[in-house]
Amino acid sequence: MNKELLVLSDLTEYDFTTVIWYAAPIMFLLVFIEFLVGRKLKLNLYTRKDFLASLSIGIGNLILNGFMKIGVFIVFLFFFNLAPIRIPHTWWSYVLCLVILDFFRYWAHRIAHEQRFWWSTHVVHHSSEHYNLSVSFRLSWTQNLKIVFFLPVVLMGFHPLVFLIVHQVEVLYQFWIHTELIRKLPAPIEYVFTTPSHHRVHHSVNEKYIDKNYGSTFIIWDRMFGTFIEEDELAIYGITKPVNSYNPVFLVFHEWLEVFRDVKNSKSLKEAWIVLFGSPVKKHKEDMAKVQIQSNAKQPNSKKA
């Protein structure tokens, strides 16, 4: 079957200004409204340092994506030109791409919680101990490494423009689910779509909630693959090993620094592999156990009366 080769120059007719930039004024307005409502209800939704950290990380991510845009296009075009078929660039291709991409986003998100290397590209998103709309701005400056998880979608023959727009829509969808002001929605919505209730669970460090509800737009993948749980207790937000910093650079790279340190201190290739692709939660529990043992060893023996 002959295929038409798509090159970068073929895309110059399109405006690649991101959907998120268009939506930014509305997003900031909603953040302001949420802040006012939270203050009126005497809810501790925002603190100045936490908000500025989220804002700085979000702006840094958008600027970085602007510089990397052409490189990302080239990668997508390369794999698109390898695709054995072409899916027509029509309205239904966007719908189909949304469902398929969301499936791959579920697995990319899940792996990002189960392996330390990929957790390093995602941990900053969970670092806030607050839960508000501005937390959605906390997108890692290294998250584009996860492009490898989405290349199969491009290889299916979706036009790169379709993929990029759908991907941005998926990211934009994440914005509204980062709030405590919207409680549970009607059952049909809660069953199919990811909602604030589902995502509060995902951002919490409650023992029963850890590593649950990975869905981006659709929660059905969690229901299918056994990672779904209902919100039935108050969520405590943050990460199991708090960062205790509002420095945006440190928030983005602190886990990378720890991973590189642990790889450097590894005594074998097998140990280094476990460091890179082992569970971050398991690693934290092991570290806490070592700290407890060391603490017990330092305590003086109690004297008998």
Q: Write out pLDDT tens, residues 245-289.
A: 999 999 999 999 999 999 999 999 999 999 999 998 877 676 666
Tokens of 8: 């970068």
- Structure confidence at residue 5 as a pLDDT band (50, 70, 90): low
Residues 45-90: pLDDT tens digits?
999 999 999 999 999 998 998 888 778 888 888 898 899 999 999 9
pLDDT at 94: 97
- pTM, two decimals, is 0.90
Residue pair 166/100 in contact (Cβ under 8 Å)? The answer is: no
> Per the structure block, which two tokens stand in for 120?
């390093």
pLDDT in tens, 138-149: 999 999 999 999
Is residue 302 very low, low, confident or very high in pLDDT (cuts 50, 70, 90)?
very low
- C-alpha distances in Å from residue 72, one per residue of 65, 129, 150, 222: 9, 32, 12, 29
Cα dihedral 233, 32, 217, 248, rounded to 10, equals -90
Give the pLDDT score at 232: 94
148-176 average pLDDT score: 93
